């Protein structure tokens, strides 16, 4: 940060403090280039490094940049200095949802709206292999239209390091929203843990207080691990049924998003709204809902995940990126781009490995070393600067979502680029979800070109 002016990297004018989290502060800021309001989360690298989560956070952030949804705070840009990481995010003007609850329980209509938006956001991210693992009031924000904006999605490594580090853990207060299996610190499934937290949120919205609460922390843990809670008298039966399924301490038995969506309360909401909703359903669907449904269809059919809404929001994102024509992050510097490439894939690791092996065979390259998730491909012919060698490393985000890095480990950079462009990229085409970094702009332009067509639908 410049010391004379309140400007960050000559691109953002920093404004007031919006809040303080475990890892640092969040400031309001305005882009000097586009004038857009943003929120900037400033994270102390040391705190993250202490728990050994740096690499994971970088990977998560790479993924997070791909996740765009109307109910999720979008990560616009990441910058880094020696000691700090800056997450530039969409700004949620309406503040925290729970400032509303602090004034008393919500009307069933309103709780229904926010809960549906939350489940849609969570479902969308899960379909992309991204988990939250820290759903709690501070991360549920509202935009200027009073629609939900979930923040910190994709930063589950941060949530993890908070839990690993006893010190950080105590600063983040009581784990009222955390699933029992997470508290037990055994391996857990991010999908199920998020659903538990959504259940707690639903309870709080309708009741105005927490389902698991006790002045004695041990007693509170006990209640959480038993799933022991009591619904107030005004909770309708269909909400009670839904909550029992979501707040099941056994993650195996806990409701899935599909089950939540099937529940009568989720579908119809409060009786007073039923008629209105039916009318709405016959009329035009909410564009946000539409984007979600179409995205899901795409996710399930495993095709190119480009829906009208995704394209539209990618376009908005890129207007900002292109107009400031810059490094998207301190992590992906230009010099690296020429020697390495990254892509995400929705295929299992074995499929990716087999494909890389086929490519090596066809290019008459030797597969020299094969550790877990690492393939070394070595050319047999000597090139300008010795044999060209590539390392392909596969990082698991989930069993069906991987980040793959292909790096030149030896040989001439020009030869590397040639073989990548002519052979490797085309041969990987059908297993690549998105190429990261250098193709981003090209890709977004292609996406942007599709917008008029999509909008006509
Ligand atoms: P944790 O450190 O566990 O994530 P937290 O969510 O409270 O806790 P931060 O994510 O650092 O911490 O956020 C701090 C506060 O800043 C939030 O409580 C919220 O009120 C505000 N805030 C965060 N992101 C935004 C945003 N995009 N727009 C507006 N306000 C935000
Ligand atoms: Mg937060």
184-231 pLDDT, tens digit each: 766 778 899 999 999 999 999 999 999 998 888 788 888 999 999 999
Distance 74 CA to ligand 1 centre (A): 13
Residue 400 confidence (pLDDT): 73
Distance 41 CA to ligand 2 centre (A): 9
Q: 95-279 belongs to which homologous superfamily?
A: Transferase(Phosphotransferase) domain 1 (1.10.510.10)
Distance 134 CA to ligand 2 centre (A): 8
| 96 C-beta closer than 6 A to ligand 1 | yes
Residue nearest to atom 18 of ligand 1 (CA): 138
SS (H, E, C) the chain: CCCCCCEECCCEEEEEEEEECCCEEEEEEEECCCCCEEEEEEEEHHHHHHCCCHHHHHHHHHHHCCCCCCCECCEEEEEECCCEEEEEEECCCCEEHHHHHHCCCCCHHHHHHHHHHHHHHHHHHHHCCCCCCCCCHHHEEECCCCCEEECCCCCHHHHHHHHHCHHHHHHCCCCCCCCHHHHCCCCCCHHHHHHHHHHHHHHHHHHCCCCCCCCCHHHHHHHHHHCCCCCCCCCCHHHHHHHHHHCCCCCCCCCCHHHHHHCHHHHHCCHHHHHHHHHHHHCCCCHHHHHHHHHHHHHHHCCCCCCHHHHHHHHHHHHHHHHHCCCCCCCCCHHHHCCEEEEEECCCHHHHHHHHHHHHHHCCEEEEEEECCEEEEEEEEEEECEEEEEEEEEEEEECCEEEEEEEEEECCHHHHHHHHHHHHHHHHHHHCCEECHHHHHHHHHHHHHHHHHHHCC
Residue nearest to atom 21 of ligand 1 (CA): 19
Task: Looking at the CA of 96, name the nearest ligand.
Answer: 1
| 41 C-beta closer than 6 A to ligand 1 | yes
Task: Looking at the CA of 161, name the nearest ligand.
Answer: 1
Residue 145 confidence (pLDDT): 95
| 91 C-beta closer than 6 A to ligand 1 | yes
**CATH class of this structure's domain 7-91+300-332:** alpha beta
Task: Looking at the CA of 99, name the nearest ligand.
Answer: 1
Average pLDDT over residues 250-271: 91
pLDDT over 90 at 233, yes or no:
yes
pLDDT over 90 at 307, yes or no:
no
389: left (phi over 0), alpha (psi -120 to 50) or beta: beta
Residue 369 confidence (pLDDT): 67
Catalytic residues: 134
pLDDT, tens digit (0-9, with 9 covering 90-100), for 37-89: 999 999 888 877 777 777 777 777 777 677 789 999 988 888 878 788 888 99
Distance 151 CA to ligand 2 centre (A): 6
**Whole-angstrom distance, CA of residue 339 vs CA of residue 390:** 10
Give the nearest ligand 1 atom to 138 CA: 18
| 152 C-beta closer than 6 A to ligand 1 | yes
Residue 186 confidence (pLDDT): 67
Residue 41 confidence (pLDDT): 92
| 89 C-beta closer than 6 A to ligand 1 | yes
Give the nearest ligand 1 atom to 41 CA: 11
Distance 325 CA to ligand 1 centre (A): 28
Residue 289 confidence (pLDDT): 39
| 139 C-beta closer than 6 A to ligand 1 | yes
The residue to mutate among 42, 90, 151, 197, having the most atoms of ligand 1 within 8 angstroms of its beta carbon, is: 151
**CATH class of this structure's domain 340-456:** alpha beta
User: In the structure encoding, which two tokens stand for residue 272, read together?
Assistant: 């007073």
Question: For residue 368, what pLDDT band results from cuts at 50, 70 and 90?
Answer: confident
Q: Between 217 and 112, whose confidence is greater?
A: 112
Residue nearest to atom 12 of ligand 1 (CA): 21
Give the environment of ion ligand 2: residues with CB less than 5 A. 139, 152
pLDDT, tens digit (0-9, with 9 covering 90-100), for 146-175: 999 999 887 777 777 666 665 555 444 557
Q: Which residues are annotated as a binding site?
A: 41
Q: Which residues are annotated as a binding site for ATP?
A: 41
Domain ranges of the chain: 7-91+300-332, 95-279, 340-456
Residue 95 confidence (pLDDT): 92
pLDDT over 90 at 128, yes or no:
no
Residue 381 confidence (pLDDT): 83
User: In the structure encoding, which two tokens stand for residue 288, read together?
Assistant: 């946000």
| 39 C-beta closer than 6 A to ligand 1 | yes
């Amino acid at each position: 940060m410049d010391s004379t002016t309140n400007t960050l990297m000559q691109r953002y004018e920093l404004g007031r403090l919006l809040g303080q989290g475990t890892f640092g502060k969040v400031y309001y800021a305005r882009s000097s280039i586009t004038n857009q309001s943003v929120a900037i989360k400033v994270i102390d690298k040391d705190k993250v490094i202490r728990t050994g989560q740096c690499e994971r956070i970088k990977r998560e952030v790479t993924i997070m940049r791909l996740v765009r949804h109307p109910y999720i705070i979008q990560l616009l840009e990441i910058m880094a200095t020696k000691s700090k990481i800056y997450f530039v995010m969409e700004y949620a003007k309406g503040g925290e949802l729970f400032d509303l609850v602090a004034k008393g329980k919500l009307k069933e209509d309103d709780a229904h709206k926010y809960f549906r938006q939350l489940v849609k956001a969570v479902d969308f991210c899960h379909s992309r292999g991204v988990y939250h693992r820290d759903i709690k009031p501070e991360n549920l924000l509202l935009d200027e239209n009073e629609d939900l904006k979930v923040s910190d999605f994709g930063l589950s490594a941060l949530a993890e390091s908070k839990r690993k580090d006893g010190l950080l853990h105590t600063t983040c207060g009581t784990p009222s929203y955390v699933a029992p299996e997470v508290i037990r610190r055994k391996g857990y499934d991010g999908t199920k843990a998020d659903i538990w937290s959504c259940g707690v949120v639903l309870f709080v919205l309708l009741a105005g207080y927490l389902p698991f609460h006790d002045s004695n922390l041990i007693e509170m843990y006990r209640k959480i691990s038993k799933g022991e809670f009591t619904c107030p008298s005004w909770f309708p039966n269909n909400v009670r049924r839904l909550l029992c399924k979501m707040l099941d301490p056994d993650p195996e038995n806990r409701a899935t998003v599909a089950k939540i969506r099937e529940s009568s309360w989720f579908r119809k909401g409060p009786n007073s709204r039923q008629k209105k909703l039916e009318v709405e359903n016959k009329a035009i669907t909410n564009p946000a809902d539409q984007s979600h449904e179409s995205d899901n269809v795409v996710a399930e059919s495993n095709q190119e995940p480009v829906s009208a809404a995704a394209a539209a929001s990618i376009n908005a994102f890129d207007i900002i990126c292109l107009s400031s024509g810059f490094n998207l992050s301190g992590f992906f510097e230009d010099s690296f781009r020429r020697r390495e490439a990254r892509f995400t894939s929705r295929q299992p690791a074995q499929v990716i490995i087999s494909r890389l092996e086929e490519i090596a065979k066809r290019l008459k390259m030797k597969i020299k070393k094969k550790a877990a998730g690492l393939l070394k491909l070595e050319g047999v012919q000597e090139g300008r600067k010795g044999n060209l060698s590539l390392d392909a490393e596969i990082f698991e985000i989930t069993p069906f979502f991987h980040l793959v890095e292909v790096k030149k480990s030896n040989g001439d950079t020009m030869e590397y680029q040639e073989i990548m462009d002519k052979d490797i990229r085309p041969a990987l085409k059908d297993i690549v979800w998105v190429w990261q970094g250098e193709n981003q702009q090209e890709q977004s332009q292609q996406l942007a070109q599709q917008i008029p067509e999509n909008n006509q639908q």
